[in-house]
Structure 1
Amino acid sequence: MIQAIYVAKKSKQSQVGIDAVKVDAGKGIVGDRNYGKRSEVGQNITFVESEAIAAFNANFGQSISQSSTRRNIITQSVRLNQLVGQEFSIGNVRFYGVELCEPCGTLGRALSNDSLTSSQVVKAWARTGGLRANVLTTGILRVGMQFNLLKS
């Protein structure tokens, strides 16, 4: 299910948590910094598992917030890696899981500190950094909505 939703109006701006958001087919989250951008595949919307954030914090003695990952949708009890190459829905909104949202140097620098280097952060988030997806239909997403895998 959707545990939290985050958007940032501009690049490098802090993300803000909201309860509901409109998504447009092929464009992403209305009002988000990546709305309508296509420089990267799956740039429409990003997801990350709340369990991955909790594991990172526990494994490395950190206390990062959900918004620190810069992902839009925080999930609970959803195995995002299994959605790569799959069509899925949340409510009446359909998505296509494009690729894993592997960590980059930007995330590494943002989460590094005196006890954890940027490269350690990137390594820690490999294969757990989330999912990039394309929005296939327009609709509304709300905190608490459930995921459904669509038959291929």
Structure 2
Amino acid sequence: MSGKIVKLLISKDPKSAMQSVNQIILEEKKGIFGDRYCAQEGTFSNKGEVEPDRDVTLIEIEKIEAFNQACNQTTRAEDFRRNIVVSNCDLNALVGKEFQIADVILKGIRLCEPCNCLAKELSNEEFLKNMQHKGGLRAEIVKGGSIDLNSQIEV
């Protein structure tokens, strides 16, 4: 399986909007340099304790597009607050598996289910039902490095 990077996103803190960037630097046992979780400032961060399922999150653009079509929405990838938006890659199949993007090695830890915060923000009662098991993947950084928009996902 080979996938494509569509967008790379980071946010400095939980209240800041996600910012699109051309490249990210991933650090083992820390996260993405410049992102809220690397600084342990994320909504679900445990201060002083780095959790591997908070290193990096991914989501499929096809799932976002299907949600928008089914629910007549215009939700952007940034609204989901995931770090890496991919195309042509079944992220659910990567739970418990290692995969590579450029020189970075990631391990899928668990699905990144949609949260009530986004459902409320979208004012969409169908959101949680329509995005269950489609909200992306939480992954651990096994080997750090950099990823840019030209990087490919190799499983």
Pick one of 7, 14, 17 that aligns with 2:17.
Answer: 14
Amino acid at match of 1:12: K
Map 1:125-136 onto structure 2 (within 5 A): 125-136=131-142
Residues of 2 paired with 1:133 and 1:35: CA distance? 13
Tell me by how many angstroms 1:41 deviates: 4.9
Distance of aligned partners of 1:28 and 1:41 in 2 relative to their CA distance in 1, 3 Å threshold: closer
- How far apart are 1:104 and its partner, in Å? 1.4
Counterpart of 1:32 in structure 2 is 35
Further displaced range: 93-102 or 38-47: 38-47
Partners of 1:50 and 1:74 within 8 A in 2 = yes
* Matched AA of 1:34: Y
Shift of 1:11: 0.8
Give the secondary structure class of the aligned counterpart of 1:35.
coil
Q: Deviations over 1:71-128 (max 9, x none)?
A: 010000010000000000101100000000011111211222xxx22xx211111010
Match of residue 47 from structure 1: 58
Q: Give CA-to-partner distance per residue, 1:24-71, whole Å, 9 cap, x none.
A: 011110000111546455111000000001001111111111101110
In the alignment, which residue of structure 2 is the partner of 1:146?
152
Q: In structure 1, what is the equivalent of residue 129 of structure 2?
A: 123
CA contact (8 A) 1:2 1:76 kept: yes
Aligned counterpart for 1:80 among listed residues 81, 88, 91: 91
With structure 1 as the length reference, what TM-score do the two structures score? 0.90
Normalised to the residue count of structure 2, the TM-score between the two structures is 0.88
Distance 1:125 1:144 in 2: 27
Paired with 1:98 and 1:25, the residues of 2 have a C-alpha distance of: 14
Amino acid at match of 1:17: S
Query: What is the percent sequence identity of the aligned residues?
Result: 33
Q: CA RMSD in A?
A: 1.3
Flag structure 1 segments of 5+ consecutive residues without an equivalent: none
Distance in 1 of aligned mates of 2:109 and 2:152 = 19
Structure 1: distance between partners of 2:39 and 2:7: 22
1:93 maps to a residue whose letter is V
